């Protein structure tokens, strides 16, 4: 079974519309730092999925470059999406049944809600997720309450 890495995008500049906001200079720096750390800590194969929002696509682009993979866009992992839709996708996604890593680059509140649902089946609850933080999950079945939180890493720890 694949390991799942849930990652929040890097710090973003203010702006409107929300979907067009870009990474700040500090955000780019923290993403580069995490991308280099990931390159030394995960093994291939890697599938990398990102929200269609610009800041998530930028974050995933830096990861893709460091890991030598391509970015795939997943339309239902935006800030307004519900974790149940992502859990349904995880259950059906063939790469979740294979060895390797699947990385989802998304936003708050989804990353916190999704992690809480997968680990604790805690509906309506969210975990705090600093920018560029990564939750590593492992599971036999990708359903609510069935995953184990293996690690939680944020740039300040590197």
**61-107, pLDDT tens digit by residue?**
999 999 999 999 999 999 999 999 999 999 999 999 999 999 999 99
Summarised one tens digit per residue, pLDDT across range 3-25 is 999 999 999 999 999 999 999 99
Percentage of the chain exceeding pLDDT 70: 100
pLDDT at 40: 94
According to DSSP, residue 98 is labeled: S
Q: Check pLDDT > 80 for residue 124.
A: no
- In this prediction the pTM is 0.96
**What is the domain range of residue 116?**
3-157
Burial code (b: 16+ CB inside 10 Å, e: under 16) for 21-58 equals bebbeebbebbbbbbebbeeebeeebbbbbbebbbbbb
The angle formed by the CA atoms of residues 99, 96 and 61, to the nearest 5 degrees, is 90
Number of domains in the chain: 1
The CATH number of whichever domain residue 84 belongs to comes to: 3.40.50.1240
């Amino acid at each position: 079974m694949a390991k799942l890495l849930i990652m929040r995008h890097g710090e973003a500049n203010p702006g409107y519309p929300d979907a067009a906001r870009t990474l700040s200079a500090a955000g780019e720096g923290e993403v580069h730092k995490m991308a280099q750390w990931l390159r030394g800590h995960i093994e291939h194969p890697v599938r990398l999925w990102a929200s269609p929002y610009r800041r998530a696509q930028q974050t995933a682009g830096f990861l893709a470059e460091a890991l030598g993979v391509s970015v795939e866009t997943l339309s239902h992992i935006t800030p307004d999406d519900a974790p149940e839709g992502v859990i349904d996708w995880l259950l059906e996604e063939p790469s979740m049944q294979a060895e390797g890593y699947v990385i989802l680059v998304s936003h708050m509140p989804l990353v916190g809600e999704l992690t809480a649902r997968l680990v604790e089946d805690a509906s309506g609850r969210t975990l705090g997720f600093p920018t560029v933080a990564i939750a590593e999950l492992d599971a036999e079945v990708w359903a609510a309450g069935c995953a184990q939180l293996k690690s939680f890493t944020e740039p300040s720890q590197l």
